[in-house]
Amino acid sequence: MMNAPKYQKRTKDELARRVAQDIHDGAYVNLGIGMPTAVANHIPAGREVILQSENGILGMGPAPAAGQEDYDLINAGKQPVTLLPGGAYFHHADSFAMMRGGHLDICVLGAFQVSARGDLANWSTGEAGAIPAVGGAMDLAIGAKQTWVMMDLLSKAGDSKVVESCTYPLTGIACVKRIYTDLCTLECTPQGLRLIDAVEGLSREELERLIQLPVATAN
């Protein structure tokens, strides 16, 4: 029988806070649908961060109060949002040009799998008979100056979602710079994974056992 782990996973809020901590003052950021959306709630006080939504918003604000929803003002997840003073609207081609042209500093995405060298799989499980849908995933993956992934390290079945090479259909090649998970923060490099941090009590050796790949130390 396995010993109980000596470490605790980051909660969803803790993970969102961990990502937010690395977003610099003045950054232009796109937060993907799902888990990354929560990062907006944890930007440290004193930092001004401008959020982009790929359906044509820069300077996106939080959700409106109940009853104040305007369904002409929604985010990419199709939820009502608000616009901050100073915000701007633009059309879809301009929005994706802004992204593809490398003008956004950071894009945070969810993922099914990420390879040690930064290949991303987050749009399709490749399941037979499933209806394919990609949305902006492939544009987002390769567009920003830095693409970060935010996900649980292990799947529900206990398999590492950080892999040597993705088995799910790819979204982009060598596009992920960092992986923020409930157990650790990793950097993807051409040489493989590098450890940025891990939750207290989780050793690098134990992490390598979970991922089944070498993880280089910070230097």
Partner 1 sequence: MINKISASVAEALASVKDGATVLIGGFGTAGIPGELIDGLIEQGAKDLTVVNNNAGNADQGLAALLKTGRVRKIICSFPRQVDSWVFDELYRSGRLELELVPQGNLAERIRAAGAGIGAFFCPTAFGTELAKGKETREIDGRQYVLEYPIHGDVALIKAEAGDRWGNLVYRKSARNFGPVMATAARHTVATVFEIKELGELDPEAIVTPGIHVSKIVKIPRVATQAGGFRKAA
Least separation in angstroms between residue 182's CB and partner 1 is 20
Q: Which of residues 84-113 bind partner 1 (CB under 8 A)?
A: 89-93, 95-97, 99-100
- Structure tokens given for 127: 């399941």
Backbone torsions φ then ψ of 15, nearest 5 degrees: -65, -45
Q: Based on the shown chain and the rule CB under 8 A, indicate whether residue 134 belongs to the binding site for partner 1.
A: yes
* 105 in Cβ contact with 83 (< 8 Å): no
What is the dihedral sign for C-alpha 12, 21, 100, 112? negative
d(CA 109, CA 179): 10
Nearer to partner 1, 74 or 195 (CB): 74
Q: Please report whether residue 210 would count as binding partner 1 according to CB under 8 A.
A: no
**Would you say 160 or 171 has its CB closer to partner 1?**
171
Can residue 143 be called a binding residue for partner 1 (CB under 8 A)?
yes
Q: How many residues does the chain have?
A: 219
Other C-beta atoms closer than 10 Å to the C-beta of 93 total 9
172 is a contact residue toward partner 1 (CB under 8 A): yes
Element (H, E) at 18: helix 12-21
- Given 14, 48, 54, 127, which residue is catalytic? 54
Q: Which of 155, 61, 143 is nearest to 96 (CA)?
A: 143
Residue 54 is among the residues annotated as catalytic for this protein: yes
Cβ proximity to partner 1: between 21 and 82 the closer is 82
| Residues making contact with partner 1 (CB under 8 A) | 33-34, 53-57, 69-74, 76-80, 83, 89-93, 95-97, 99-100, 124, 129, 131-139, 142-143, 169-173
Residues taking part in catalysis = 54
